[in-house]
């Protein structure tokens, strides 16, 4: 695959890792903020390639994982309303809520369909005019513009039975929240590549300016990630933290202006609840009043029982980078991909699923 | 199909019709929305995420990064 295979060369990767080892003298801790990076880092054994001086932590970059249990409960309750079809990205369906999961609801007869794209959700609405089709809108800035575009498309096509439950979240505010929390001291951040395709590099400036932490935006192939780590190590060694783009074939400093414009048109920024972190101001996207007829929150009301968090599950700590998956007592014992207790074991981008899939050697 | 939420793969634009495009990757064709990247041309590579092209691959920058990687590698002989 062009623009992929070239960045997977194992000989180049070994040499790059060698250079990182040679120049790394300080013990540092890096966090990847994107679940895609978590997956790639484990898959390609990047943790074993970098020197012992470089510690890697996973952060809150798995959209399914950071979805608050209360929001998940709401999605499940919506699924049980009459004449409703729930459309959702696949990972979401197996995440346990307080009392049930979408998968369990589906087994009980609720109409829940996995879609690849918000466009598929619109087509589901067109094909089922007697039903209300609700799309569970999860994801960060990578996904939010696609959902905005689909709402605009639905309006243009005058589709009356399409709704979105907007649980979309923003990356810079959660980075700030974790840095303010100070629970895990970080020297550098592996910036999310595809979030940054949309928002560019400017929104991260506060990380180096206000917190003195290095931030390098990375692609998703092994050479991309190693190049990013090389730049982060260089910045920390030189004591000159700044924001850099190590993925310039995808990311421009200004981002994608069209995508930002559509997001701004459809969504407004508001507080959002994050699993393991709580409410973070200005970290979520809500549908604007002008488009409220597509807002599932406005169109449907459901009553919810009190939230119950899974006992013993440390997903919240894992999301904040305060614990690694093997530090959770349930990991691989009670909590497995077949019987997940928390979302971090369900989603392919969850740290627990990645640790579980790619092995012993990471512990 | 389970997808990684921030996964985006580079696909080539084969033809364009309104705000949609036919794309190709590894022999697989797929219709995608170019509502977020209206500037694309046939032959461009775009990053495909959940049915939408979210960005255009900058081929010159891709070359530059490869050159940089090879330069670094040539300076880091592994003994």
- Does A9 score more than 60 pLDDT? yes
Q: Which of B36, B69, B78 sits opposite A145 (nearest CB)?
A: B36
Structure tokens at A343: 């979302």
Question: What is the value of pTM for the model shown?
Answer: 0.96
pLDDT of residue A199: 98
Q: Which tokens go with A129?
A: 């005019």
By CA distance, what is A152's nearest residue in B? B35
- From chain B, the residues in CB contact with A39 under 8 A are 4
Which CA distances in Å does A203 have to A59, A141, A149, A187? Answer: 18, 12, 22, 18
Residue B1 within a domain:
no
User: Could you tell me if residue B2 is inside a domain?
Assistant: no
Given a cut of 90, whether residue A363 has pLDDT beyond it is no
- Domain with residue B48: its CATH number is 2.30.30.140
Taking the C-alpha atoms of residue A199 and residue A205, their distance in angstroms, rounded to an integer, is 12
Q: What is the ipTM of this complex?
A: 0.95
Q: Quote the domain boundaries for residue B31.
A: 9-75
Contact: B35, A149; criterion CB under 8 Å: yes
- Judging contacts by C-beta atoms under 8 Å, the chain B residues touching residue A89 are 3, 5, 50
Domain count, chain B: 1
Over range A19-35, report the average pLDDT: 96
Would B58 be classed as within a structural domain? yes
CA distance A361 to chain B (A): 23
Q: Give the tens place of pLDDT for each residue, A71-130.
A: 999 999 999 999 999 999 988 999 999 999 999 999 999 999 999 999 999 999 999 999
| A362: confidence class by pLDDT, cuts 50, 70, 90 | very low
pLDDT of residue A268 exceeding 60: yes
**Average pLDDT in the A285-306 region?**
97
Whether B54 maps to a domain, the answer reads yes
Q: Tell me whether residue B3 is in a domain.
A: no
Model confidence at A353: pLDDT above 80: yes
- pLDDT surpassing 80 at residue B78: no
- Residue B68 domain flag: yes
Q: Which residues of chain B neighbour A227 with C-beta distances below 8 Å?
A: 65, 68-69, 72
Task: Report whether pLDDT(A30) > 70.
Answer: yes
Residues A135-160 have a mean pLDDT of: 97
Yes or no: say if A61 and A244 are a contact pair by the CB < 8 Å rule.
no
Task: Give the alpha-carbon dihedral of B33, B38, B43, B48, to 10 degrees.
Answer: -40
Q: Domains of chain A by range and CATH?
A: 5-62+177-236 (3.40.50.11750), 64-170+255-299 (3.40.50.11740), 315-362 (no CATH)
pLDDT of residue B13: 98
Give the span between the Cα atoms of A156 and A45, in whole angstroms.
46
**Cα(A264)–Cα(A47) distance, rounded to whole angstroms?**
38
């Amino acid at each position: 695959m062009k623009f992929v295979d070239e960045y997977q060369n194992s000989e180049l990767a070994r040499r790059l890792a060698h250079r990182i080892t040679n120049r790394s003298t300080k013990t540092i801790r890096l966090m990847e903020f994107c679940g895609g990076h978590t997956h790639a880092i484990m898959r390609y054994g990047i943790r074993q390639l970098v020197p012992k001086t470089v510690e890697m932590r996973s952060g809150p970059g798995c959209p399914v994982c950071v979805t608050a249990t209360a929001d998940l409960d709401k999605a499940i309750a919506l699924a049980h309303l009459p004449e409703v079809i729930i459309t959702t990205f696949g990972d979401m369906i197996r995440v346990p809520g307080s009392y049930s999961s979408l998968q369990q609801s589906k087994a009980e007869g609720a109409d829940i369909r996995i879609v690849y794209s918000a466009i598929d959700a619109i087509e589901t609405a067109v094909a089922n005019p007697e039903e209300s089709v609700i799309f569970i809108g999860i994801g960060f800035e990578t996904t939010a513009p696609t959902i905005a575009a689909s709402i605009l498309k639905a309006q243009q096509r005058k589709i009356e039975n399409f709704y979105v439950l907007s649980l979309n979240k923003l990356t810079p505010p959660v980075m700030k929240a974790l840095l303010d929390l100070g629970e895990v001291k970080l020297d550098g951040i592996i910036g999310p590549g595809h979030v940054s395709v949309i928002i560019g590099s400017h929104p991260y400036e506060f990380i180096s300016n206000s917190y003195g932490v290095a931030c390098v935006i990375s692609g998703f192939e092994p050479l991309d990630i190693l190049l990013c780590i090389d730049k982060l190590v260089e910045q920390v060694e030189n004591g000159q933290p700044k924001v850099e783009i190590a993925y310039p074939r995808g990311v421009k400093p200004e981002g994608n202006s069209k995508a930002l414009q559509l997001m701004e048109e459809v969504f407004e920024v508001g507080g959002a609840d994050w699993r393991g972190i709580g409410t973070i101001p200005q970290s979520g996207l809500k549908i604007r009043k002008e488009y409220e007829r597509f807002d599932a929150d406005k169109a449907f009301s459901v009553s919810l029982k009190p939230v119950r968090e899974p006992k013993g599950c440390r997903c919240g700590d894992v999301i904040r980078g305060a614990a690694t998956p093997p530090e959770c007592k349930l990991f691989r014992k009670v909590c497995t991909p077949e019987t997940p207790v928390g979302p971090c074991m369900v989603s392919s981008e969850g740290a627990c699923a990645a640790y579980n899939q790619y092995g012993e050697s990471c512990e | 199909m389970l997808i990684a939420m921030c996964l985006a793969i580079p696909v080539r634009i084969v033809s364009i019709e309104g705000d949609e495009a036919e794309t190709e990757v590894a022999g697989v064709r797929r219709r995608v929305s170019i509502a977020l990247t209206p500037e694309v041309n046939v032959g461009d590579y775009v990053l495909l995420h959940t049915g939408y092209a979210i960005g255009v691959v900058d081929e010159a920058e891709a070359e530059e990064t490869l050159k940089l990687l090879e330069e670094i590698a040539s300076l880091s002989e592994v003994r």
